[in-house]
């Protein structure tokens, strides 16, 4: 299965603990990804949280499609990570590494996008990169 790895490092003027708490809650992802409009069916199972994320996609600027994606969320003291399984053969592994730096937190946002073919991977990676870059500004606005 082809894959693309996307990395973005940015700074937020808040503590790693504050970012960790925010990123560990499924509800925080509504609007954190400009595509995510809702989360539902949240289930906690030990160290994992599983939920369904409703991602609104637009095709050709007019056709709306609500993509129901299965998300697994885990956290360790210095990371928040997990997997996203989307219908249509796209999967993402994600990881936020949080490090105290310069009076705030350095966030290393890593996404690994998997798709069953090259054109789909190209589309999914392009959308994922747009979301990744937007997320940096949104997190800084929310918590910085």
pLDDT tens for each residue of 69-107: 999 999 998 999 999 999 889 999 999 999 999 999 999
Q: How far apart are CA 46 and CA 48, in angstroms?
A: 6
Q: Give the Cα-Cα-Cα angle 37, 15, 20 (nearest 5 degrees).
A: 45
pTM: 0.92
Reported as a pLDDT band with limits 50, 70 and 90, residue 58 is: confident
Task: State what percent of residues in the chain have pLDDT above 70.
Answer: 100
Q: How far apart are CA 133 and CA 8, in angstroms?
A: 7
- Return the H-helix or E-strand segment holding 6: strand 3-12
Q: How far apart are CA 57 and CA 133, in angstroms?
A: 17
């Amino acid at each position: 299965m082809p894959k693309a790895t996307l990395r973005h490092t940015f700074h937020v003027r808040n503590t790693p603990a504050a970012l960790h708490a925010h990123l560990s809650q499924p509800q925080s992802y509504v609007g954190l990804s400009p595509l995510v409009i809702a989360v539902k069916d949240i289930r906690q199972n030990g160290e994992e949280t599983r939920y369904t994320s409703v991602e609104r996609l637009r095709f050709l600027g007019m056709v709306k499609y609500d993509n129901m994606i299965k998300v697994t969320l885990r956290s360790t003291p210095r990371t928040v990570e997990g997997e996203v399984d989307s219908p249509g053969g796209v999967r993402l592994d994600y990881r936020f590494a949080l490090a105290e730096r310069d009076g705030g937190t350095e966030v290393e946002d890593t996404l690994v996008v998997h798709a069953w073919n090259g054109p789909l991977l190209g589309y999914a990676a392009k959308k994922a990169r747009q979301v990744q870059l937007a997320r940096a500004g949104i997190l800084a606005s929310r918590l910085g």
